[in-house]
Amino acid sequence: MNTVTVIGSINLDRTIRVHQMPKPGETIHTKEIFSAGGGKGANQAVAAKRSQAKTHFIGAVGDDDAGKAMLDLLAQEEITLDGITTLKNESTGQAYVTVDDAGENQIMIHGGANMAFTSEDVEAHRDLIEASDFLVAQFESTVASTVTAFKIAQAAGVKTILNPAPAMSKVPAELLAVTDMIVPNETETQTLTGIEITDEASMIKASAALHALGIAAVIITIGSKGAFYDVDGRHGIIPAFKVDAVDTTSAGDTFIGAMSSVLDQDFSNLEDAIRYGNRASSIAVQRFGAQPSIPYKNEITAAEGEK
């Protein structure tokens, strides 16, 4: 069983379901409104834990009702909460998610406490990082805190996985230098490398650019097409499972959390781990919401037996 520590964001997601996205200036009726646990960091931790990884979280919430609710949700998952700081005078992160009938989403986030926790907060929980197999981070918290965490991880032989989302054009070289694996989607890959992802040849070119930055393992998630990987001279596309997607919110988070729960530290079983991540996220996209959609290991393995 892997131990996975996630450093990153915790959001209260407020989701609005609509038939079609409103055009600028347009007012439309919604189909449904609901609130649920979200945030790329928390989603990835929930995905890892539901796939039975021992899971620690490092991050922050505000001293408010949303923060208490989000901590309760993570406690129910039995994720280690010792690394979560409650910050006075900060609000808990929030995301405003709109999902249309095609399952596509638009998301606006308010970082709040996610953007206020510091490298000192990370240092205070270095024991959690050092006791892990993998450390996973995204871009919904400060880059400085992630750099500190990744340096602690690498010094302790813990593999670092960066999900560069939401896309950021100027990623500090200092962070990439301590990243063992990077997992962008197609848009994030283009933002990072300047290479448009159109086919496998463009993925090979983009991953070569990422390897040149010192990153050993590259996975590019390509939505309903699956995931491309390039590690140790092996590369290819592992296709996604064919399902009817209703809401792709947290598809990428589910993929990363689930995959990191079964991945070997030397990446030797990467193909199998990607297949497992694809299966996990194919279940998530058939359900609404971020954390409510993330499957448990028994659901993923049962689905594996189907086809």
At position 226, the amino acid (one-letter code) is G
Rounded Cα distance between 29 and 8, Å, is 34
Binding mask 36-55 for ligand RIB (x = CB under 6 A): --xxx--x------------
Query: In angstroms, what is the minimal distance from the CB of 40 to ligand RIB?
Result: 5
Q: Decide if residue 164 touches ligand RIB (CB under 6 A).
A: no
Q: Decide if residue 142 touches ligand RIB (CB under 6 A).
A: no
Among 13, 247, 253, 266, the one annotated catalytic: 253
Query: In angstroms, what is the minimal distance from the CB of 193 to ligand ATP?
Result: 16
Q: Which helix (H) or strand (E) holds 7?
A: strand 3-7
Cα-Cα end-to-end distance for the chain: 25
Q: 247 contacts which partner out of ligand RIB, ligand ATP, none, CB within 5 to 8 A by kind?
A: none
C-beta pairs of 203-209 under 8 Å, 24+ apart in sequence: 203/228, 203/230, 203/237, 204/230, 204/235, 207/235
Q: Which helix (H) or strand (E) holds 275?
A: helix 270-284
Q: Look up 253 and say whether it is catalytic.
A: yes
Measured from the CB atom, the residue of 83 and 164 that comes closer to ligand ATP is: 164
**Contacts with ligand ATP, residue ranges (CB under 6 A):** 165, 185, 221-224, 226-227, 240-241, 243, 245, 248-253, 255, 278, 281-282, 285
Measured from the CB atom, the residue of 59 and 83 that comes closer to ligand RIB is: 59
Rounded Cα distance between 307 and 289, Å, is 26
Q: How far is CA 18 from CA 27, 29, 33, 84, 302, in A?
A: 11, 7, 9, 34, 32
Rounded Cα distance between 140 and 124, Å, is 20
SS3 49: helix
Query: In angstroms, what is the minimal distance from the CB of 133 to ligand RIB?
Result: 23
Among 2, 3, 5, 11, binds ligand RIB (CB under 6 A): 11
Measured from the CB atom, the residue of 193 and 249 that comes closer to ligand ATP is: 249
SS3 percent helix, strand, coil of the chain, rounded to 5, is 40, 25, 35
Query: In angstroms, what is the minimal distance from the CB of 45 to ligand RIB?
Result: 12
Query: In angstroms, what is the minimal distance from the CB of 82 to ligand ATP?
Result: 27
Measured from the CB atom, the residue of 140 and 188 that comes closer to ligand RIB is: 140
Structure tokens at 72: 């309760």
Among 253, 255, 262, 275, binds ligand RIB (CB under 6 A): 253
Neighbours of 101 (CB within 10 A): 12
Measured from the CB atom, the residue of 96 and 296 that comes closer to ligand RIB is: 96
- Residues contributing to the site for ligand RIB (CB under 6 A): 9, 11, 13, 38-40, 43, 95, 107, 109, 140, 249-250, 253, 290
> Which residues form the catalytic set?
253
